[in-house]
Amino acid sequence: MVFIREKRIKGKAYYYLVKSVREHAGVRQKIIQYLGSEKPSEDEIRRLKRRDS
């Protein structure tokens, strides 16, 4: 499953495209792409998810 993760560092928001991956110890999140500090638009999110599914 591919989704957008918001990560807050020192109060600033950063966005990443993340994929859930099953490993020996359970499910982990693998960062696929850094998207920047601006929240992507809904169209951009749909395009990214379709591309990396």
Confidence band, pLDDT 50/70/90 cuts, at residue 53: low
19, 52 in Cβ contact below 8 A? yes
| Percent of the chain surpassing pLDDT 90 | 62
Which among 28, 39, 43 is positioned nearest to 4, based on CA atoms? 39
Residue 32 has a pLDDT of 92
Report DSSP state, residue 50.
H
Q: What are the two backbone dihedrals, phi and then psi, of residue 51, each rounded to the nearest 5 degrees?
A: -65, -40
* Span 22-44, pLDDT tens digits: 988 899 999 999 999 999 898 98
Q: pTM (2 decimals)?
A: 0.80
| Percent of the chain surpassing pLDDT 70 | 98
